[in-house]
Amino acid sequence: MQGKVLVVTGVLGALGKVVAEVAQSRGVLIAGIDHAPSQLPATPQRIEIGDVDLSDAAQAKTAIDAAAKHFGRLDGLINIAGGFAFETVGDGDVTTWQRMYALNVLTALSTSRAALPHLAASGAGRIVNIGAMGALQAGNGMGPYAASKAGVHRLTEALANEWKGKVTVNAVLPSIIDTKANRADMPKADFSRWVTPQELAEVILFLASDAASGITGALIPVGGRV
C-alpha cells in the first residue's frame, strides 16, 4: 500500500488511531478527519482535519476536498466515525434513535458521497465502512445502535452496486472491540474473546488494498473467538 492516500474518519478514536498508525507504518499517506479538534500540523505524510461534523453534508465535502487538495488524490475512505448508545425501546427516547442515525449512517453517507468522485478518479478507489455484528440480531438495549448499523450495512450494499467497476465498497462487522472504554463498561467480560483494534485494522487495510480489488458489497464479521 506504499504511497496510497487513505481518508480515516474518527481518526482520534481508539480504532481510528490504530488503523492510521498501522497504515502509516506501511507507507500509506493519511488524511484524518474527526469531530474533535486536532493540533497536529500538516505534513507530506499526514493531515488531520478537526472540528468536523461529518453528518453535515457540507462539512463532510469541505473536509474531503481539503484532504484531496493536500495530497492531490484520494485512493480510499475508511468510515470509522460513529457512536454507541445502550437504551431499551420502551424506556428510551426517540432522540437517541435520531442521534444514532446521524452518528453512524449520515456520517458514512455524507463522507462517501463527497469522496466518491475522487475515489473513482483513482482507478482503484476503496470504501470500507464499520458495521456491527450486533446489528445482525439486536439484543436487549441494542435497538437504536443496531438499527443504525443495519443502515450502514444496507448503505454499503447499495453503494457497492451503484459504483461497481469504479469503486469497491465493503464493511467489516466487529464483535466487541477490545478498548479501554469497553473494558471499563464491561469489567466482568472475557476480554480474550473480543477483537483487538490491531486485528480489525488488518482486515480493514486488506479491503483497502489492491489485493481486494475483486471484493465489493461484502459484509465481513470480525471477532467472536471460540
The 10s digit of each residue's pLDDT in 48-65 is 999 999 999 999 999 999
* Percent of the chain's residues with pLDDT above 90: 96
Distance of CA 186 to the CA centre of its chain: 23
- What does pLDDT average to over the chain? 96
Q: CA–CA separation, 106 vs 112, rounded Å?
A: 10
Q: What is the pTM of this model?
A: 0.96
- Pick the range with the lowest mean pLDDT from 61-70, 75-84, 128-137, 182-191: 182-191
- Planar angle of CA 205, 207, 211, nearest 5 degrees: 100
**Rounded distance, CA 84 to CA 104, Å?**
9
Taking residues 206-219, report their average pLDDT. 98
Q: How confident is the model at residue 226 (pLDDT cuts 50, 70, 90)?
A: very low
Which pLDDT value is given to residue 225? Answer: 58
